[in-house]
Structure 1
């Protein structure tokens, strides 16, 4: 399968956004990657899985967010999923993306799980 250039947006409100065009917004956290359609599908699933463990509106109404065991476990699953997202972006990333991620102070790429 041929690879295409994509841009992955990792903002809290639009974490699942993967586009084929660069968005010129200095406030946007955007990574350029080169991937096949199958790799994009896999990355999209990782993004959705990570978001599933982020604080959900339903949790606010169920009061589960007051349960420390639940929130700690959910937070750990979210961080694990987010680390997988970052690793995949790094693997698929352009040289510029890899350099950008290498320069991050607390890169999840260097943390063991």
Structure 2
């Protein structure tokens, strides 16, 4: 007698579990590293801005602070305009790799919190 196996679109439950677990492990490692890198970048940017302010007070440098603020806003803007009724391309890609994506996301959040 053959054991019962659940098949979802040619993808077995065991395969989905392996993908979820591998995605979680990889996500945890990347999340941990991302937080460490983000801290280093934040320190470097803060030191750079402090240096700019110091050089500006000494009259060595003139800084356009509005331009720096505008560049930061442009960097955080997202473009999600698509044709009417169609999801953005990244949504379609994410849904096609849902088991790995779900594991990766959970692992990333745990790794980022622990980092």
Instruction: Compute the TM-score of the two structures, normalised by the length of structure 1.
Output: 0.28
Compare the two structures and name the one with the higher helix fraction: 2
Structure with bigger gyration radius: 2
Larger RCO (alpha carbons 8 Å, 6+ apart): 2
Instruction: Compute the TM-score of the two structures, normalised by the length of structure 2.
Output: 0.27
